[in-house]
Amino acid sequence: MQELGKAEYSSVRVTPQGENRVIIEKDISSEEMILNMGPQHPSTHGVLRLECKTDGEVVIEAEPYLGYLHRCFEKHAEMVDYPGIVPFVDRMDYLASMNNDFAFCIAVEKLLDIEIPRRVEFIRVIVSEFNRIASHLVAIGTYAIDLGAFTPFLFCFRDREHILNLLEWASGARMLYNYILIGGVAHDFPQGFKQRASEFVKYFRPKAVELQRLLTENEIFVKRTKGVGMMPADVAVNYGWSGPMLRGSGVEWDLRRDDPYSIYPELDFKVCVPDGKFSDIGDSLSRHVVRALEMEESLKIIEQCLEMMPEEEGFDPRAAIPKRIRPKAGEVYGRAENPRGELGFYIQSDGKSTKPLRCKARSSCFVNLSAMKELSRGQLIPDLVAIIGSIDIVLGEVDR
């Protein structure tokens, strides 16, 4: 806090009758106050600092300051060979490691121009859709807790734990998997995985509905989020928003459908956008609703994949991994839809080295967060929490 605004005591006047009465004058003014939110504030979901210029309860402007978690991803990437980058990519968006790996591997494979075995593609899609549900569960759960609802948080984390167990069983790690490799995956699914996965889908479907009824239709929750942090569709596109944020503004855009990769073109799923009956299109509630609806779509994708996945005896998921990864000279921009939006990698190869010449990560949260200044203008301080929560940032990916 810098300094408190000077109160206008002149408004206490002695009336002609001789009694002290407080007369609130119309021209009463307060001074601007700078209020720091973060870097250790729990609702900033990590280490983000917002410098809020406030006038009473109203935020005039909130300027985000980043870099507290900057770990020099791009510099690191220039120093190690391609497979060595994958573990760092895991640690960028640590809530959706599978999706990150997927995006990075797509970019490098595009540059290498190699064919991926069909079963590997199914494995990748299944694990990344599982990770998408897990990530959305964290987003929804922590959003609820930001706004004072404790129970949905526990429900979300209980179900997320089942997914983490499944992914741990497949990959050997609980959160940072290093499972999707360039040209393949680390291991085939263990025996019985398919059955457990479909059991989970059956188990989770009613739970998602329950969560919807508990939180999304909760009157207090709706009052806190409806009409807060509005973002019109054309401005959202101009800001480069992607993922649930963009869809929350009513733009039907999903890389899985609109710039298809892997086996997504063969799968049947819907791109979720709010219909405007329940929320105002473009507000924080819409963004939450999109995430809630998307979990069901991910379940649908997993179900289809489990059914369509080819069974092969003694399948080696590492068979297509090149012995030495040294792409031809060239540059590529590869991207995938991760739970927070478009995660892209711009990679430049000189054709001689096994290390990239340049590797830039286009982080979805970084871009989504850049609209914070505009979103927060003229909002109330408590609404600021509702807005940050709806952006669903992971600071590991923002700062890289």
**CA–CA separation, 237 vs 233, rounded Å?**
6
The binder of another protein chosen from 252, 266, 275, 312 (CB under 8 A) = 252
> Given candidates 335, 385, 387, 397, which one binds another protein under the rule CB under 8 A?
335
Among 57, 113, 161, 217, binds another protein (CB under 8 A): 113
328 contributes a contact to another protein by CB under 8 A: yes
In the complex, what is the shortest distance from the CB of residue 101 to another protein, in angstroms, rounded to a whole number?
Answer: 19
From 175-183, 220-228, 250-258, 313-321, span contacting another protein (CB under 8 A): 250-258
Q: Which is nearer to another protein, 202 or 328 (CB)?
A: 328
C-beta of 317 vs 344, nearer to another protein: 344
For residues 391 and 284, give the distance between their C-alpha atoms in angstroms, rounded to a whole number: 8
Give the footprint of another protein on residues 202-241 (CB under 8 A).
234-235, 237-240
The token duo for 236 is 């959202």
Q: Which of 215, 251, 272, 325 binds another protein (CB under 8 A)?
A: 251
Q: Which is nearer to another protein, 60 or 237 (CB)?
A: 237
CA distance 271 to 346: 26
Separation of alpha carbons 350 and 83, rounded Å = 17
φ, ψ (nearest 5 deg) of residue 58: -100, 135
- 90 CA to centre of own chain: 14
H or E element that contains 34: strand 33-37
Q: From the CB of 246, what's the least distance to another protein, in Å?
A: 9
Nearest alpha carbon to residue 98 among 191, 171, 193, 46: 171
Q: Is 257 in the site for another protein (CB under 8 A)?
A: no
Of 85, 92, 111, 385, which lies in the binding site for another protein, with binding defined by CB under 8 A? 111
Shorter beta-carbon distance to another protein: residue 45 or 335: 335
Beta-bridge mates of residue 53: 34, 61
- For the chain, how far is it from start to end, CA to CA, in angstroms? 29
Among 331, 354, 380, 381, binds another protein (CB under 8 A): 331
Stretch that binds another protein, among 79-87, 170-178, 199-207, 329-337 (CB under 8 A): 329-337
Q: How far is CA 135 from CA 12, 96, 147, 394, in A?
A: 54, 6, 19, 10
Whose Cβ is closer to another protein: residue 39's or residue 240's? 240
Q: Count Cβ atoms below 10 Å from residue 201 Cβ, excluding itself.
A: 17
| Residue 248 · residue 289 · CB < 8 Å | yes
Among residues 70 and 174, whose Cβ is nearest to another protein? 70
Identity of the residue, 229 or 317, whose beta carbon is nearer to another protein in the bound complex = 229
Q: Facing residues of 185 across strands?
A: 180
Pairing of strands 58-65, 49-55: antiparallel
Tokens for 65, please give them: 């300051």
Residue count, binding to another protein (CB under 8 A): 39
- How far apart CA 398 and CA 377 sit, in angstroms, is 21
Among 42, 56, 67, 382, binds another protein (CB under 8 A): 67
Round to whole Å and give the CA distance between 321 and 179: 13
Q: Which is nearer to another protein, 164 or 322 (CB)?
A: 322
Q: Distance (Å, rounded) from C-alpha 397 to C-alpha 88?
A: 11
In whole angstroms, how far apart are CA 186 and each of 113, 153, 294, 315, 335? 20, 32, 27, 12, 21
- The site map against another protein for 114-153 (x = CB under 8 A) is ----------------------------------------
Site residues (CB under 8 A) for another protein, limited to 338-357: 342, 344, 346, 348
Residue 51 found at the interface with another protein (CB under 8 A): no
Phi and psi torsions of 24, nearest 5°: -85, 115
92 binds another protein per the rule CB under 8 A: no
Interacting span for another protein (CB under 8 A) from 93-101, 178-186, 367-375, 381-389? 367-375
Give me the residues that bind another protein (CB under 8 A), please: 66-67, 70, 72, 74-75, 78, 110-111, 113, 234-235, 237-240, 251-253, 258, 328, 330-333, 335, 342, 344, 346, 348, 358, 360, 362, 366-367, 370-371, 399-400
